[in-house]
Structure 1
Amino acid sequence: MKKNHSLYPNIFWVAILFSISFFFSCSTNNNNTDITAAEIQVSFTSEQYEEGLDGRLIVLISEQIEKEPRFQLRDDSKTCQAFGMDVTNWKAGEPMSFDMKAFGYPIRSFEELPSGEFYVQVLFHKYETFNRADGHTVKLPMDRGEGQQWNKAPGNLYSTPQKITITDGQFPAINIQLDQKIPPITAPEDTKYVKHIKIKSKLLSDFWGRDMYLGAHVLLPEGWETHPDVKYPLAIMHGHFPNDFGGFRMTPPDADLKPEYSERFDVEGYNVMVQQEAYDFYKTWTGPDFPRVIAIKIQHPTPYYDDSYAVNSEAQGPYGDAITYELIPYIEKQFRGIGEGWSRFVYGGSTGGWESLAVQVKYPKEYGMCFAACPDPIDFRAYCLVNIYEDKNAYYKEGAFRKTLVPGHRDYLGNVDASLRDMNYRELVLGTKGRSGQQWDIWEATYSPIDEEGYPKRIWDRLTGEIDAEVAAFWKENYDLAYILKRDWAKHGKDWENKIHLYCGDMDNYYLNNAVYLAEEILSETTAPYYNGVVDYGDRAEHCWNGDHENGNHISRLRYHRMFIKKYVEKVTKVAPKDADLKSWRY
């Protein structure tokens, strides 16, 4: 057969082109290798810690340095960039190479970072080891008085921000020394009116395998010292209160206080308003017409959050019982509380709103009334904008040809600035296994059963948003407050009568009003007895609206005590026994 020699030149050029393509392919791969191989070396000294450290190492990257990058991580478009990785037994003097493939928020990988000049800061969030009574050993960040704030936690290490240049996805190789250590927080001092108590909880210490404590800031009524035979009702405010009895100030606003603008409320000089409101409350509290009660703010931080959500849970232990049967009786004994269920009333907003309703539901005879403002989801058919029982995915509303991100945060006009996925991804950077110390993680730490390692089971996959139906079923039976009210009304309805009061803005930033609507439907259908409480909504009111139709949210959110203490006193005859003393403490 005769060969066609005219094909040989074509074969020759094909070979040449293949070689060139292979060369550029290898060059490109080498460049990618260089990018991912660029190292961030991080170290600390033995003067800071001698023992090996466990925790979370977080790299933060920002455009500006008006405030440190560690204070710029947020859910909306104004956030800085962050990457996180877990660290085990990290020793002083041994540089740690940061994982350049670590998960990031809002940009997922180092290679996708934009070009330009930026500031980089690294923070180490320290974990401790807990040998729990259930046989699990877990590593978690214990609260150290700061309220589970990773960027402010005493003992955490961080670096001085330094300037870097990123070019075409290439992150520079840098060495970072964690040269700063966050100092301890100074405990507040007692005054005539404000006292601080702290007790060791046997229930919690047994569960966690180490000494665990509960505390409270206690506000005593005017005349408490001069009327030693009088016993008082207990006003229990739930919520985030890591430091002191905020909102009570015995002096006018500081004369040299420089007014500051509040971005959240779009108000000039809000810091001055806060001090003025605190001083006004002091004058109201000590004035002749205000009811005389003992007011407390409970301190119950956990290794997962700045408070426990005031209920028993598998991952956190028996906080509900510890607060109800250890802490509150101790306070009543120390400060002359009446000590009966009808004389204890609870109130709070957001987390505190959920807690207030939760303890009233879980302990129907131990508490006499609840005022729950803007509560975290009280009906899991509206877990913000997710129905955990019917939806398959939390992050997307899916159709045959497209899927839409589920909103996570809005303003009072409905403008969305963060998706639910954004909010969960930010937490995932801050901590795996539910250890971010943030909102979605504490809900899981409270409501979920534990996994094989002893950490809370995920209600949904944090990367994909796929919902776990078995975990959802567990949540429903144990922590869906609206469902429990409906399920158990025949059993506890008489103990819940006259006690449930709900308040929420109809433009709550986190869509919490949707769950209140569903709970209202359940309450409105109650019979034998009818619930006989209140459900109220604020028109276009945002998160933390609490029933005040006269003042803006920036003011009303500072008046929980004066609002709800008066409401309780007005309604107390509906829950108190006929022979109860309702006069001696009102002087």
Structure 2
Amino acid sequence: MQLEENYLSAQGFGVDVENAAPGSTVVVDAKTIGFPRRSLADLDAGDYTVQAVFNVYEQFHLASGKTVWLPPDKGEGQHWNLKPGNPYNAPVSVHFDPKSGKTLKLTLDKVIPPIEGTDQDPAVMAAKDPGAKWLKFMRFRSEKLSRFWGRDMYLGAWVLLPDGFDEHPDARYPLVVYQDHYHAGFGPLPFVTTKPDAKNAPRRAAAGYKFFQDWTSGRLPHVIMIYVQNANPYYDDSYVVDSANVGPYGSAINEELIPAIEAKYRGIGQGWARATFGGSTGGWEALATQVFYPDMYNGTDAACPDPVDFHAYQNIDLYNDANAFVRRGDFGEVPVAADRKPDGTIIATAESEFRFEYVLGTHGRSTEQWDIWQAVFSPAGTDGYPADVLDPLTGAVDKKVVDYWHDHYDLTAILQRDWPVLGPKLEGKLHVAVGDGDTYFLNNAVHLLQTALDSTRNPHSDATFQYGPGMPHCYTGGPPEYTMQENNANWPQRVLPLMADHMLKTAPAGADVKSWRY
């Protein structure tokens, strides 16, 4: 599939179909909304390669009493073009002329096969992994999520055990949570136990082998490191907070899954002995986890986080912009940019990205970025789907929904509002990095967060911020003498020792600070 959110995307069209039976017909015509061109009528006459995929929705009978139609994750990480059971056709070449009136027919005669039992199945991956001595996989049924969604709902967790775990049966360990998008395997880096070919190995494999060497040589602290798979019917990731639409993922992960992991693998199980880090979506999650669970975690390193202040919702000011797609003066207007290159070249606008997602799914069902933010942050609408914070086709902003976002998920606003309580609990715990050329303008919100924290008193915030001049998305900070790629490749090796040192400095009297330090 070649659809993407910027101007380089292939052409796509999307249509909702209800109660489709095998052999039924789905019509795409000039009224069907498309991206990048809005209509079939806007296409040039010529030769095209065409493929159709049918994303199958299922009914969810929510605990709220509402019934919604959504695409369940089937182990593929919520990607409609990889989802088992979705019908599709092999690409075909056609000649199309919008003026001819000719009907073109496609037959969806193929079905994406299941993942379960294949090498893409995490359970199979774990069983075959040569690093299985250290790397374990857990499939965990969440009672909280199952109750919310009206069906059994599971979390996946990769657990990386410290070297010497079996040889030190009396040791108990701190826990570090890595936050990220869905990966079939272990998230932060591949845990590569065999030295890759120096000439032909991808950089990621080489970094994974270096991580394995550092993990098993005593150069890194002996901690349990986990990565949680939390794909859901709206996205490949839940944002690890409790949400009116996505469900109680914050509670499920922090109150059900993590205690179960710590009980099984001898975690210390106390707040001073937990930390979290992540980038992008994981950066927002790492910061939000520390803010919403201030006593449960003892530090966060958040890189290039998704919008932490809705004055800078990427490049949209939800509080002051009446329209998210254009800014208007008395005699002119300019489109709101969404994506850019580090040199400032604009490659997508807010209007085009919202239409791209609308093509992939109405009612916020695209399983893409803007829609998951809306699903996580919005109240449920009267129809059971997320309330629109803005109209996906016109850009009109709903200020009542924005008010709900502000009170529940604007991290800057929450920190300012609750600083008398949160401030003392967050001392020494907040560390944020972002590139000042971030692809999605996420640095703007981070600057606003720093300005707010710099103005705090009693206590004055000691949060640290690092900005990479001209650096794009996924900047994780680090020594400036190294490239962004080099710093990203050894990110766990940079943050884990700092986390362990902070834990030791802040451990309460009588805490176990010895058994895991062998």
- Is TM > 0.5 for Structure 1 vs Structure 2? yes
Separation in structure 1 between the aligned mates of residue 12 and residue 284 of structure 2, nearest angstrom: 31
Which of 119, 137, 140 is the equivalent residue of 1:196?
137
Trace 1:132-171 onto structure 2 (pairs within 5 A): 132-167=62-97, 169-170=99-100
Match of 1:563 in 2: 494
State the Cα distance separating 1:74 from its structure 2 match. 1.1
State the Cα distance separating 1:574 from its structure 2 match. 4.2
State the Cα distance separating 1:183 from its structure 2 match. 1.6
Separation in structure 2 between the aligned mates of residue 557 and residue 139 of structure 1, nearest angstrom: 39
Trace 1:401-412 onto structure 2 (pairs within 5 A): 401-412=331-342
Match of 1:234 in 2: 175
The letter for the 1-side match of 2:226 is I
Change (3 A) 1:201 1:75: same
> Deviations for 1:496-525, whole angstroms, at most 9, x for unmatched residues?
111111111111110101111111011112
Separation in structure 2 between the aligned mates of residue 76 and residue 333 of structure 1, nearest angstrom: 46
Residue 253 (str. 1) matches residue 193 (str. 2): no
2:412–2:449 CA contact under 8 A, matched in 1 = yes
Give SS of 1:544's match: coil
Which of 505, 518, 534 is the equivalent residue of 2:464?
534
The letter for the 2-side match of 1:557 is N
1:357–1:370 CA contact under 8 A, matched in 2 = yes
Match of 1:223 in 2: 164
State the Cα distance separating 1:422 from its structure 2 match. 1.3
State the Cα distance separating 1:578 from its structure 2 match. 3.1
Trace 1:164-313 onto structure 2 (pairs within 5 A): 164-167=94-97, 169-170=99-100, 172-185=102-115, 186=118, 187=121, 188-190=125-127, 191-246=132-187, 247=189, 248-253=191-196, 272-313=202-243
Trace 1:304-323 onto structure 2 (pairs within 5 A): 304-323=234-253
Give SS of 1:192's match: coil
Trace 1:441-520 onto structure 2 (pairs within 5 A): 441-520=371-450
1:294–1:337 CA contact under 8 A, matched in 2 = yes
Separation in structure 1 between the aligned mates of residue 469 and residue 388 of structure 2, nearest angstrom: 35
Change (3 A) 1:309 1:217: same
State the Cα distance separating 1:428 from its structure 2 match. 0.5
2:272–2:296 CA contact under 8 A, matched in 1 = yes
1:111–1:170 CA contact under 8 A, matched in 2 = no
State the Cα distance separating 1:166 from its structure 2 match. 1.9
Give SS of 2:354's match: helix
Change (3 A) 1:111 1:364: same
The letter for the 2-side match of 1:366 is M
Separation in structure 1 between the aligned mates of residue 327 and residue 471 of structure 2, nearest angstrom: 26
Separation in structure 2 between the aligned mates of residue 555 and residue 120 of structure 1, nearest angstrom: 40
Trace 1:5-24 onto structure 2 (pairs within 5 A): none
Match of 1:576 in 2: 507
Q: Once structures 1 and 2 are overlaid, which stretch shifts more, 309-318 or 159-168?
A: 159-168
1:165–1:171 CA contact under 8 A, matched in 2 = no
Trace 1:3-42 onto structure 2 (pairs within 5 A): none
Residue 361 (str. 1) matches residue 291 (str. 2): yes
2:324–2:390 CA contact under 8 A, matched in 1 = yes
State the Cα distance separating 1:169 from its structure 2 match. 4.1
Change (3 A) 1:491 1:288: closer
Long gaps (5+) in structure 2: none
Separation in structure 2 between the aligned mates of residue 568 and residue 239 of structure 1, nearest angstrom: 18
More strand by share: 1
1:498–1:574 CA contact under 8 A, matched in 2 = no
Give SS of 1:504's match: strand
Change (3 A) 1:169 1:360: farther
State the Cα distance separating 1:256 from its structure 2 match. 9.6
State the Cα distance separating 1:99 from its structure 2 match. 4.5
State the Cα distance separating 1:319 from its structure 2 match. 0.9
Change (3 A) 1:158 1:168: closer
Instruction: Give the TM-score, by structure 2 length.
Output: 0.94
Change (3 A) 1:583 1:453: same
Residue 554 (str. 1) matches residue 485 (str. 2): yes
2:36–2:356 CA contact under 8 A, matched in 1 = yes
Separation in structure 1 between the aligned mates of residue 236 and residue 25 of structure 2, nearest angstrom: 32
Which of 323, 340, 343 is the equivalent residue of 2:273?
343
Match of 1:63 in 2: none
State the Cα distance separating 1:100 from its structure 2 match. 4.2
The letter for the 2-side match of 1:440 is W
The letter for the 2-side match of 1:575 is T
Match of 1:370 in 2: 300
State the Cα distance separating 1:336 from its structure 2 match. 0.7
2:40–2:98 CA contact under 8 A, matched in 1 = no
Residue 394 (str. 1) matches residue 394 (str. 2): no
State the Cα distance separating 1:168 from its structure 2 match. 5.1
The letter for the 1-side match of 2:485 is H
Separation in structure 1 between the aligned mates of residue 33 and residue 153 of structure 2, nearest angstrom: 33
Separation in structure 2 between the aligned mates of residue 290 and residue 534 of structure 1, nearest angstrom: 23
1:112–1:169 CA contact under 8 A, matched in 2 = no
Give SS of 1:443's match: helix
1:113–1:169 CA contact under 8 A, matched in 2 = no
Separation in structure 1 between the aligned mates of residue 426 and residue 112 of structure 2, nearest angstrom: 46
Instruction: State the superposition RMSD in angstroms.
Output: 1.5
Give SS of 1:503's match: strand
Separation in structure 1 between the aligned mates of residue 505 and residue 419 of structure 2, nearest angstrom: 19
1:348–1:560 CA contact under 8 A, matched in 2 = no
Change (3 A) 1:139 1:256: farther
1:121–1:162 CA contact under 8 A, matched in 2 = yes
Give SS of 2:57's match: strand
Separation in structure 2 between the aligned mates of residue 498 and residue 406 of structure 1, nearest angstrom: 37
State the Cα distance separating 1:304 from its structure 2 match. 0.3
Q: Once structures 1 and 2 are overlaid, which stretch shifts more, 229-238 or 149-158?
A: 149-158
2:230–2:237 CA contact under 8 A, matched in 1 = yes
